[in-house]
Amino acid sequence: MRRAIFTSTLNALSGDPDEVLFNIKEQLPFEIPITNRSNTQATVIALHKLYRFNQLPETYFIKRPKLPAGPQALNETLKYYFSIKKSKALKKLSLYRSELKKYYELDRKLPAAYYQLPPEKPRLPPLPNTYQKLDRSVRHLFSIDLAKKNSIKTATDHLHKLYNFKYLPNNFIKPKPRLSNESGKIKTQIHFTYPIEDIIVKKFLEIIKYTYQYTLPLPTNIVNANSTDKPVLPNDPEQITEYALTILFTTPRQLIEAAQLLRQHYYFTKIPDHWIDIILRGQQSERTNKDKTKPLLPNTVEDIKQVIYTLHMDVAVTQESEIELPITDHAKVTPTLEFLKKQFFFNGIPNHIINLPPLPEPSWEIFQC
């Protein structure tokens, strides 16, 4: 009610902007008549506080001329934007139109003279999903050997002339073999004496990264040196000042969490055996003295992997292609169990590491009609 009474006491807005009092004009955010229509809302809000009106009369706007047919006749401040000669400049077209509206009345589309774009390139076909389907002129470049200098740049430069693509499929690149556990099978341009035990380990890693897949730390028969800038893990836990360690570790979870923390500050391939005392409850009598040096097999596949790759990395790297967790291939049962037996204590074949499909039906006929 108060607002209605207040509004009714305001004077009606004159159709002539020159009749707006000078001291009121000074309070407006923009000059009237309005040159740029994008300033209309702010001006209307300010005038509504002082006058009654439903719509701002057209007399409050400076009538702008029609946009010239060509950019040569534009206001000097706008000639910088036109004509548009590069396709990437089209991303800023809305900004350019806003600048034009400050001075001219615009149609829905700008005249053709405001564009001088190069002719469109012929649309290239998409890149095939396998390099075997490539055009014969480039097929010989694949698969790409990353060990060869500039091989990927040369190949992609040729492909961009024939196909439309942003990324190369993985199968276009020659997969790097796993670094062998046998030093005699490692091929490098520079001869190395194994195990590598000094600072040249960094040079070795720089060379093999283009040829082999590997995970640090490497097996000790290949590299028996610290390949990081971290200090070696002390054999005595009392020398570790960063954490208050609970020694001895009695569960795989304790072991995993401790190893993850320690790797942030120290280099090591394995937690020292005398830090570990994981015992199988209720079955201590079944374990031999040799078994007691091994931790109990964790109850989940994820925990098993964590222990292997976090605490026994030097072993895991060499065995990765031979084992499988969970086991889904009948051919991997024996090597996987043999590997796990070397690292953990367990009886029989634990169900949680097995996920085998049914054996296939026989493919022969015993009886024939």
Q: Specify the long-range contacts of residues 10-16, CB closer than 8 Å, at least 24 apart.
A: 10/50, 10/51, 10/52, 11/50, 11/51, 11/52, 12/51, 12/52, 12/53, 13/47, 13/51, 13/52, 13/53, 13/56, 13/57, 15/57, 15/59, 16/59
Distance CA 24, CA 32 (A): 11
Give the separation between CA 142 and CA 140, rounded to whole angstroms: 5
CA distance 151 to 145: 7
Answer whether residue 311 shows pLDDT above 50. Answer: yes
369/361 Cα distance (integer angstroms): 20
Q: Are 275 and 299 in contact (CB under 8 A)?
A: no
- Ordered by start, the domain boundaries in the chain are 2-60, 71-114, 131-172, 232-353
172-230 tens-digit pLDDT: 888 877 877 787 888 877 787 777 777 677 788 877 877 787 776 677 778 777 767 78
Q: How far is it, in rounded angstroms, from Cα 168 to Cα 166? A: 7
Average pLDDT value for residue range 300-325: 65
Residue 287 backbone phi and psi in degrees, to 5:
-95, 135
pLDDT higher than threshold 60 for residue 10: yes
pLDDT in tens, 256-271: 778 878 888 888 777 7
- The whole-number pLDDT of residue 239 equals 82
